[in-house]
A and B are shown apart, each in its own frame.
Chain A
């Protein structure tokens, strides 16, 4: 069933000056490079470098603002994901697009189920599904509901689906982020096979080992721009690649200045709760920037949910400046001065339809209102404008709906929300994800200033450079447990990753 076509005839995949602008941000700027059939081509870069945007353009989810896409001799102008699929492109996203309540077979042929007169032909469906899965995932029964498969198996179903539609350009977006070592090995073998069949394979990953293991070429992005393409992996070293990704100005953005460390502000003692496997204990000092590093699923966000009162702890205690804290809701944490900037800004941070001013004032306003409910216009206007000015939020006016602002400016508005409040501990979950470089530097600046004022700042990040760049001290989490603590001077990429990688996977990658 899967395309046994001699795919060289499709030719290469060429990005020609691709640009993409969102309101306030240039996500991609003049990207040009070529990916050859029969090669696995890695796309690398820091978070926000533009890799995912490029894949979305390839997949037809975004329409580029400029430039064009060529497959073989043909210039493509995808207006929808359907266009892209019809042209033989498949993008395998991190979040898989499968319906968990339907069977594997139904998912494979969703949209073109074998049917006569509207009645689904179950026998044919099963036959075709088996043919599809053959050689990829023979152990999966097409009758199983997708919801019951492991993440790795779901990914295989997604790949089978792409192949059944005759895809000859296949892009993987961080495919291994939630896979076990065994599943990674199997995926690597499949990718190798796709390459040998002459398909164009794009591979987005942060993992150096994987890139060196499977890829034939690497293209590096930075801040939405093309940096360079390495065609010969044997001539490329680990360090060269990192330097190329990070660039030289890395120290400048973080603008680290050492500060005197104050007394203990937040003391976490044996904390346990949903998503944590072992009790967690640590201390955060006044005026300290504490980094929390870990891979996806390490329990960083879960720890923050406990500290911000979103989840209740099942064991352990919290102490803030010497007083025990019991957090039953986010309101308790906020009242105590523990303020969280959540990871998913769109889902948990901003109120998209409301104005920038509303988003800034929402938390502090009840303390500044008459009788606890009547808004004071002077304070409302004054505070919003003060924060907009102090944090350099780029907005045409305070009444602008916040959804029209760029990610960086939205993040600054949320920081402004908390700067309007009495603050003791600031929790930042991936504070610069999806934010362009200029705004990043400004946010680091704000973090430093807060620490200098004696606030205790805890920063969760999966961006190694960022964690090392801004933190005074780094805690490493792995699979819901605290795995170690590294001081700023001793921190480097390899010792942090060593701690962050699950043991069994660490050995899996090594061989």
Chain B
């Protein structure tokens, strides 16, 4: 199959592609390496309790990073996702408080995400406004709305069935982790096996050429942001469920964590390069290192410095590789 060339070709082609193979897989291998190192060096790292914590830490970033991949791959990005996460939790909590219906609460949150995504997409695609400015604006608008809806403070949730999203388990695996895995599989598949996914890559690779080749550039971009809005809202619902409340102040700076994870894994900020395994690798590396630092009781202040340094190192290595 043409679209799986990256997976299939290295095995059937000459040694030149070994480099390509390494380029594609090196960050995932690094993630595994870091995991193994932590297992050996840190007591309790592999304990079931810690693994569970690690999985949950991955889930929110992981879900949002799946669709951030599409934004980045198409040559844009989205800063509003942190606000969408907070607002979705608040909307879900408020609607459940007022209607007592979990279904309506979750639906309202997802619709809110969809609307924000559509606004982002339409402004960026049709009005050709820079994605940075557009999503910087919606980031603030949506954050403000979250506070307004919540009246400035956390909104508690009392519906037991809502907690299944955050605290439920299936075969002993927490539901958020399962949803994250499903997202990884689904969006990975979508990118490689549908016209939508391939068109996303084409737009990021060369928008002019994609337009001239007959790709519906505007529609694809709007879909990218709309889907990202919905998935961001889903992450927000899960987070609200875990915390049993909708909190308007959470997720500040979350958009930057998501973008860092993608870029750390190898997704290009300028578009046209990105695979789901990049996202998985980036999310894993960030989460494992954070987890390890927590286990080692490293001060939060130092954690910022270390996280930033890792990101810088990763992009510098990436730059050097491209020379």
- Chain B, 177-203, CB within 8 A of any chain A CB: 193-196, 198-199, 201-202
- A72 contacts chain B at the CB level, 8 A cutoff: no
In this complex, the member of B4, B8, B208 whose beta carbon has the largest number of chain A beta carbons within 10 angstroms is B208
The residues of A that contact B205 with a CB separation of less than 8 Å are: 351-354
Q: How far is the CA of A352 from the CA of B270 in the complex (A)?
A: 13
Q: Does B198 lie within 8 Å of A365, measured CB to CB?
A: yes
Q: Distance in Å from the Cβ of B190 to the closest Cβ of chain A?
A: 9
Task: State the Cβ distance, A398 to closest chain B Cβ, in Å.
Answer: 7
In A313-372, the 8 Å CB interface with B consists of 329-331, 334-335, 340, 342, 347-355, 357-358, 361-363, 365-366, 369, 372
- Separation of A362 and B202 alpha carbons in the complex (Å): 8
A330 to B210, CA, bound (A): 10
> Smallest CB–CB gap between A237 and chain B, Å?
44
CB closest residue in chain A, given B6: A399
A61 interface residue per 8 A CB criterion: no
Chain A CB within 8 A of B164 CB: no
Does any Cβ of A come within 8 Å of B170's Cβ? no
Interface pair A363/B2, CB less than 8 Å apart: no
Q: Given A351-B206, A354-B201, A380-B3, are A330 and B193 neighbors across the interface (CB < 8 Å)?
A: no
The reply on A397 being an interface residue by CB < 8 A is yes
Q: Within 8 Å CB of A358, what residues of B?
A: 2-3, 198, 201-202
Neighbour of A381 across the interface among B2, B6, B211, B215, CB < 8 A = B2
Which of chain A's residues have a CB closer than 8 A to the CB of B14?
A: 396
- Chain A contact-residue range equals 35 or more
CB closest residue in chain B, given A380: B2
Contact A348 B209 (CB under 8 A): yes
A362–B2 CB distance below 8 A: no
Asked if A361 contacts B212 (CB within 8 A), the reply is no
Question: Which residues of B lie under 8 Å from residue A310 when comparing CB positions?
Answer: 211-212
Partner of B209 from A351, A355, A365, A377 at Cβ < 8 Å: A351
Is B117 at the interface (CB under 8 A from chain A)?
Answer: no
Contact B214 A397 (CB under 8 A): no
Chain A residue at smallest Cβ distance from B8: A399
Q: Does A409 contact B (CB under 8 A)?
A: no
CB < 8 Å neighbour of B272 from A342, A353, A399: A353
CB distance from A117 to the nearest CB of B (A): 32
- A381 in contact with B1 (CB, 8 Å): yes
Q: Which residues of B contact A347 (CB under 8 A)?
A: 206, 208-209
Asked whether any CB of chain A lies closer than 8 Å to the CB of B13, the reply is: yes
Residues of A within 8 A of B1 (CB): 375, 377, 380-381
Minimal beta-carbon separation of B319 from chain A (angstroms)? 16
In the complex, which residues of chain A have a beta carbon less than 8 angstroms from the beta carbon of B206?
A: 347-348, 350-352
B50 at the interface (CB under 8 A from A): no
Which one of A335, A372, A377, A417 lies within 8 Å of B195 (CB-CB)? Answer: A372
Q: Chain A 367-399 against B: per-residue CB contact (8 Å), 1 yes, 0 no?
A: 001001111010011001000000000001111
Residues of B within 8 A of A396 (CB): 13-14, 16
Other contacts beyond A331-B214, A363-B214, A369-B195: 14, CB < 8 A:
A330-B211, A347-B208, A349-B209, A352-B272, A354-B272, A362-B198, A362-B210, A362-B213, A372-B195, A375-B194, A375-B195, A381-B2, A384-B2, A417-B213
The 5 closest A-B pairs by CB, nearest first: A377-B1, A399-B5, A380-B2, A351-B205, A334-B214
